[in-house]
Amino acid sequence: MTIDHSELLHAFRPEACLVAGALLVLGLDLATGRGRTAERRARNAALLGLLALAAALAATFAAAPSGPLAAGTMLLDPLARVTRAGVLGLALLALAATPGTLRLPHAAEYVALLLFATAGFTLMAGTTSLLLGFVALELASIALYLLAGFDKSRPESAEAALKYFLFGAVAAAFLLFGFSLLYGLTGALDLPGIARGLAAQPVSPLLLVAVVMVLVGFGFKAAAAPFHLWAPDVYQGAPAPAAALIASAAKLAGLAFFLRLLGSGLTAPAADGPPAPWTGAVAVLAVLSLVVGNLAALGQGNVRRLLAYSAVAHAGALLLGVLVSGRAGPGPVVYYAVTYGLATVGAFLVLAVLDGQGGAQAHADLAGLHRRSPLLAGALAACLLSLAGIPPLAGFLGKFLVFAEALKAGGPASLPGAIALLAIALSAVALYYYLIVLKEALVRAPAPGAPVIRVPAGAALSLIATVALLLALGLVPDLLLRRF
Amino acid sequence: MSALPWTIYVSLAGAALLLALGRASPGVARGLALATALAGAALGAAGAAGFTAQPGLQTLVDIPWVAGPGIRYHLAADGISLVLVLLTGLAATAGVLFSWNVRERAAEFFALYFLLIGGVYGVFLSADAFLLFVFYEIAIVPKYFLIANWGSTNREYGAMKLVLYSFAGSALVLAGLLWAHAAGGGQGFGLAELTRAASALPAAQQVPLFGLLFVGFGVLAGLFPFHTWAPTGHVAAPTGVSMLLAGVVMKLGAYGCLRVALPLCPAGFAAWQPLLGGLALAGILYAGFVALVQEDFKFVIGYSSVSHMGFVLLGLAAATPQALAGAVLQMFSHGVIAGLLFAVVGRMVYERVHTRRLDHLQALGLHRHLPFPALVFVIAALASMGMPGFSGFPAELSILIGTWRTAPLWALGAAAGVVIAAAFTLRVLQVSFFGPAEPAAPTEAHPPPALDPITWPERAGAALLLAATVYVGLKPDALLGWILPALHSPALQPILRGTTP
């Protein structure tokens, strides 16, 4: 098979922008950084990084949809385009908030790592090859491990990085093992080839082993219960903007790769035949994540750990969306992941701003936020209420669409329908723990002597954009949904 | 007619405007709030003026919204919605007048207040179940912050309990709506489509579906035994919000039962009917007895609200045309009267004497110090007891007669409830305002109170609500003329017993 290089260059323009931007950020800092203040260097790096992200975003929108590219390793279908735009947008929001909030040395390296991670995400969004997918996943993961440990002044950050790395490496091993079994079974690395290979043989125990390995690997990466144990420590220890990226864009990109793998690689043999081999295992992960995430979040006194457990709960809902994506298409579940990512980025950015003002870990550190900064309090309220699924914020419609598809798949007595009912019941639990946080931020009086918070311009813009997007997607969901 | 959707937009725009401009001073915020409330009420009245009663919903706006699941932005009204929209306008205006003394973060208070009101208007005007649910949820969350921030007595607990109960109820509703949607093959969320789809389900499925929808909405209507959020929530809430909670928010639940639960599952309703009647009756009697022994003035009113809402639910459960008409009339009547009672207790009395304990109030002999609130309370108490000449009389009478046709025993039980209501109302009236007969000797514990005079917003608010209850009491046909034709709607025919009067 020949590869058309001009076509390839066209398709990979966003990645090219990101990698070139990362190198440029590093080079410029090396060349001109000496003698400048750390703040100036950080601002220059962030500006350059934002430009690279914006260019990549523009290239994403400019890329025309096309068939399989590069010998079947890439596919720029709607799922890929929306996911690429989503991860780039989320990275843009996370990066825009760093100047003035993240006071770290070596800001250029931080920005470059963020761009590399994003390049990994955009590759994951479009890949149809196990090999490229794994490389993209590792590119993103290694950059994220480093970002998690970037704050060298806090031992928690190092702990977060180590935990994230160890769990991530194990997950990668599982994934690679599963991929190698799939390759061994079918002799193909591209997903359509795998589907063809599997269709030609009966379901073997080896295939089930491969499926379980893959699910374990993705379960670790997505922090689905029972593979979620790293998430609270990482969310707590990592610098808040890095945690924002780990919790949002990484999830979205992983979801896209996962959806493609299950949807076009490990498909059900026939449309109305027995379900695909992964159905039961995904359902188990979804139920466990929903229950464990929501119940464990109740006991948290630390905002970041609470967000981590809420992330586990949302992973459960996402898995439910994956479960019904065969029937409903990727639209609802990707909408869910995008809006979840937006709300999570917003919440972590609020925490990032607070970190610059003496830290925000326990719920009580948020006390009186409405007095100290109405903008932060309002943004936090919008993001948490979106996570809780309160209309007209976008998080509600994400849940609604996923649950509607799950119930449509066979009524409340079917497996997805029953999980949807469970998720609906647990949403009342979820509202409780989000309201506990909001009670501190919006009701309680500030601690005596707590100063007024000055929000850096970048973070303020980023937060306003996040809330505006949450509202816009909630009120006009077809902005995103009609792209599928 | 075409003015009705603007009640929603004006309220939401008012909320945004309050956040943007109201921070200048509490005075500006109050002015904006009153203007918003009056605009909403005027738009509702303008809508009523151009309204011709017909069976079935009359579409106001209908545009596609979310293409995938077939969700439409569909607003429509019939006589029932119209009555409740008018009630919302009244209650919102009176609530602002009785919140005139909110000084701390007044702009945010009124912004949340009108977010809630906008949601309430939206629920009453929605003809798409998804849209109705969205507005329903919009009305839930502001309550938490209104109560937790500006409330009194155990406010954080009361607020959380209220919101979690409401939200858990709405989760049941969501499950039910999605189920009905799935049953229809995902062909949209319009109430008409859902009714077609769900009422075609076999009875074995309609029974659980009806349970989800009715109990889910019923939580907010104070359905026994899920009513316990109401007294604690009402007591914890600031006065204006208590008035709204009892006045319109509880009606959201009852309206949802009538508009969604009953038409969707006629067969399910038939199975549930005996239990629902029993629960409604239990609510009337139980809450009445509990109100009889409360030591806190506001708790008496809180439980009386549950008891009076029990009549609404009983009317729905009886499902004769007369009982349903009475239920809607009772929604209006209770909205006005409960607002009045909460205004007297929370604003006129508590904010002046800073106690709600009945034994303390008894020692004060308040009628001497606060003659105007005493007068208002006497009239409101009479109205609440269902005296002829006030709106409660035609409403409860109509429910009792209508219920008699379905189940005479329920009617008898409810009639006993009327007597209990009279008992707790008279008790609290006597104890709170008309303490010792002789002028109380000023003791150390209770020095003669130096009370602020009653302000003009209080007089205006009280006059507004009193006028409404008297007007409807004397001329119930003004509302019944809209309500009764709406009961001829095809959606309600499968559940109706007997013919429309």
Interface contact flag, A400 B174, Cβ < 8 Å = yes
Which of A411, A443, A481 minimises the CB distance to B149?
A: A443
How far off is chain B from A326, nearest CA to CA, in Å?
16
pTM as predicted: 0.93
What one-letter code names the amino acid at A344? T
Residue B443 belongs to some domain of the structure: no
Residue B364 belongs to some domain of the structure: yes
Strands A68-69 and B58-66: unpaired
Position A340 scores a pLDDT of 95
Reading the block at residue B99, the tokens are 């919140």
Q: Express each pLDDT in A33-74 by its tens digit.
A: 777 888 888 888 899 999 999 999 998 888 766 677 777 788
Helix axes B321-342, B297-318, angle to 10 degrees: 170
Contact assessment for residue A316 and residue A293, using Cβ atoms and an 8 Å cutoff: yes
Confidence of residue A473 (pLDDT cuts 50, 70, 90): very high
B61 membership: H or E segment, kind and range: strand B58-66
Position A273 scores a pLDDT of 60
Position B500 scores a pLDDT of 45
Range of the domain at A362: 5-268+276-481
* Residue spans of chain B under pLDDT 70: 436-449, 497-501
Strands B58-66 and A74-75: unpaired
> Exposed, middle or buried by CB within 10 Å (0-12, 13-18, 19+), for B412?
middle
Interface contact flag, A432 B164, Cβ < 8 Å = yes
Is the CB of A346 inside 8 Å of chain B's CB atoms?
A: no
Q: Which of residues 158-187 of B touch A (CB under 8 A)?
A: 160, 163-164, 167-168, 171, 174-175, 178-179, 181-183, 185-186
Position B224 scores a pLDDT of 86
Is the CB of B351 inside 8 Å of chain A's CB atoms?
A: no
Reading the block at residue B405, the tokens are 């046709």
Q: Express each pLDDT in A383-441 by its tens digit.
A: 999 999 998 899 999 999 999 989 888 778 888 889 999 999 998 889 999 999 998 88
How far off is chain B from A62, nearest CA to CA, in Å?
25
Interface contact flag, A400 B183, Cβ < 8 Å = no
Interface contact flag, A482 B67, Cβ < 8 Å = yes
Altogether, the residues listed in chain B come to a count of 501
Residues of A in contact with B108 (CB under 8 A): 370
Number of structural domains (chain A) is: 1
Provide the 3-class DSSP secondary structure of residue A190: strand
Q: Which of residues 118-137 of B touch A (CB under 8 A)?
A: 130, 133-134, 137
Residue B462 belongs to some domain of the structure: yes
- Tell me: pLDDT of A5 over 60: yes
Mean pLDDT across A185-206: 86
Interface test with A, best of B63, B166, B178, B187 (most A CBs within 10 A): B178
The CA angle A228-A231-A233, to the nearest 5 degrees, is 130
Reading the block at residue A114, the tokens are 């963020």
Residue B500 belongs to some domain of the structure: no
* Alpha helices, DSSP H, located in B50-154: 79-97, 106-125, 129-150
Contact assessment for residue A72 and residue A474, using Cβ atoms and an 8 Å cutoff: no
Residue of A nearest to B178 (CA): A404
Q: What is the ipTM of this complex?
A: 0.92
Reading the block at residue B339, the tokens are 């607002």
Mean pLDDT of all residues belonging to chain A = 88
Confidence of residue A2 (pLDDT cuts 50, 70, 90): low
SS3 readout for A349-410: HHHHHHHCCCCCCEHHHHCCHHHHCHHHHHHHHHHHHHHHCCCCCHHHHHHHHHHHHHHHCC
Position A444 scores a pLDDT of 86
Residue B366 belongs to some domain of the structure: yes
Residue B444 belongs to some domain of the structure: no
How far off is chain A from B20, nearest CA to CA, in Å?
12
Number of structural domains (chain B) is: 1
Contact assessment for residue A396 and residue A385, using Cβ atoms and an 8 Å cutoff: no
Position A270 scores a pLDDT of 57
If we measure between CA atoms, which residue out of A194, A175, A125, A165 comes closest to residue A337?
A: A125
**DSSP per-residue letters across B140-161:** HHHHHHHHHHH--SSHHHHHHH
Is the CB of A274 inside 8 Å of chain B's CB atoms?
A: no
Contact assessment for residue B439 and residue B368, using Cβ atoms and an 8 Å cutoff: yes
Range of the domain at B201: 4-438+449-495
Residue of B nearest to A484 (CA): B68
Position A410 scores a pLDDT of 78
How far off is chain A from B77, nearest CA to CA, in Å?
22
